[in-house]
Amino acid sequence: MNKSGSIALTSIFARGRHRPPNVPEGSASSGKALGEVARLSPDETLQRLSSTAGGLTPDQVEERLRSVGRNQVAHQARHTILGELVGRSINPLNLLLLTLATASYFLGDQRAAIVIAVMVVLSISLSFIQEHRSNNAADKLQRMVSITTTVRRQVGAEAHDNVDVPIEQLVPGDIVLLSAGDMIPADIRLISTKDLFINQSTLTGEAMPLEKFAAGHVGTAETPFDLPNICFMGSAVVSGIGCGVVVLTGPRTAFGLVASAIAKQRVLTSFDKGITRFTWVMLGFILVMAPLVFVINGLTKGNWLEALLFAVAVAVGLTPEMLPMIVTSIWPKARWRCRAERSSSSASMRSRTSVP
């Protein structure tokens, strides 16, 4: 995450009661909940969350999963097949080519109209097929990775055991065990620590790790990220060991709030912006050259219909009909490789329980 993104994330909790439109909903309530448990002692925190040092029972876990939901942050929704097809079709360059094909058809040049239309249809079809295959391959790769965390759960009336569970199954009140190299799976309140240092650079941009303690915080903090006994989802344990109780999960965490805000926005890539700029440049050339050729040809030869046909031919000649096909055949393969490598490397890093 870049510096501006880290500042924006920190400002989610730093702002007061008047929430600006760009701050995710729920940030105030989440910050308030974390601030309240931070002031409590470890025993009071466990009592507040209806938990014990031995963990939750299986019945309690199932009940809280039903009421709170799975510990998953929002992600960009996958479109249906029809949505993917429409998304591939709506392209500035395709619209320009279809406009020229329509003009050529009504002016009697059916051959040029058919050629341009065929190029556009082939481009859309190939782009849709390759995009759909790359998305499916990336999804399969992501499903192959299982990210777990160590929690303490009750297995009987008196006994408890440490088990590895998928992070999606964490619920408020779960007792999480932390050691060097672990990723924090939720927003947790520490109840015991020993030389525990946490790296929160992914959230705040601070490069230096912070030492965390289990004692109640009696002072004031500018943001919840400054609370010495709270660990946030997405941060990492640099050294030491600790034990904490889950306070917030899924979209209610600081990381989840930002993920929910990002998932609602579709940010144009540099490639999309480049295509749009190129289309506007071509449109500018056409708007200048076509009328100029039409007027000059009409004035010099006196046949305005022939001048119009020639101007349309010039506009068609200025537009590279094969460009969408070339881009379609190259870009999805490169993007699939990037997505696959990124998913594989990030998932393997998050799934580690320790760093040697």
Q: What tokens were used for 31?
A: 């910050």
Q: What angle do CA 296, 298, 299 make, to 5 degrees?
A: 65
Q: Look at residue 309 and tell me whether its pLDDT is greater than 70.
A: yes
- CA 9, chain centre distance (Å): 14
Q: Is residue 176 packed enough to be buried (19+ CB in 10 Å), middle (13-18) or exposed (0-12)? A: buried
Buried b / exposed e across 139-149, counting CB within 10 Å, b at 16+? eeeeeeeebeb
Q: What whole-number distance in Å separates Cα of residue 202 and Cα of residue 223?
A: 16
Cα distances (angstroms) measured from residue 30 to each of 8, 46, 206, 216: 16, 18, 22, 18
Beta-carbon contacts of 141 under 8 Å, excluding residues fewer than 6 positions away, are: 340, 343, 344
Helix (H) / strand (E) containing 273:
helix 270-301
Q: What CA–CA distance (Å, rounded) separates 292 from 286?
A: 10
Q: What is the CATH number of domain 3-71+170-263?
A: 2.70.150.10
Q: How confident is the model at residue 321 (pLDDT cuts 50, 70, 90)?
A: low
* Domain positions in the chain: 3-71+170-263, 81-143+268-351
Q: What is the pLDDT of residues 228-265, one digit of tens each?
A: 999 999 899 999 999 999 999 988 888 888 777 776 66
Alpha carbon distance 245, 189 (integer Å): 5
Chain segment 125-164, per-residue pLDDT in tens:
877 887 778 777 777 776 777 788 999 988 766 667 888 8
Q: Which residues contact 154 (CB under 8 A, 6 or more apart)?
A: 52, 54, 55, 56, 57, 58, 160
- Which residues have C-beta within 8 Å of that of residue 235, sequence separation ≥ 6? 183, 184, 198, 199, 200, 202, 203
Instruction: Using the predicted structure, report yes or no on whether residue 292 has a pLDDT greater than 70.
Output: yes
Helices 3-14 and 27-38 cross at an angle (nearest 10°) of 70
Q: What is the mean pLDDT of residues 183-206?
A: 90
Write down the pTM of the prediction.
0.62
- Look at residues 224, 270, 279 and name the one whose alpha carbon lies nearest to residue 90: 279
Q: What confidence score (pLDDT) does residue 20 get?
A: 37
CA distances from 200 to 244, 259, 342 (A): 16, 16, 21
Q: What percent of the chain has pLDDT over 70?
A: 76
Rg (CA), the chain: 29
Residue scoring higher pLDDT (14 or 44): 44
Q: Which amino acid is at 221?
A: A
**C-alpha dihedral over 269, 271, 277, 282, to 10 degrees?**
-150
Where b means 16+ CB within 10 Å and e means fewer, 77-97 reads eeeeeeebbeebbebbbbebb
Do 184 and 235 meet the contact criterion of CB atoms below 8 Å apart? yes
Inform me whether the pLDDT recorded for 2 exceeds 50.
Answer: no
For the segment 31-45, the average pLDDT, to the nearest whole number, is 88
Query: What's the pLDDT at 330?
Result: 56
Contacts of 110 (CB under 8 A, 6+ apart): 104
For range 306-315, the mean pLDDT: 80
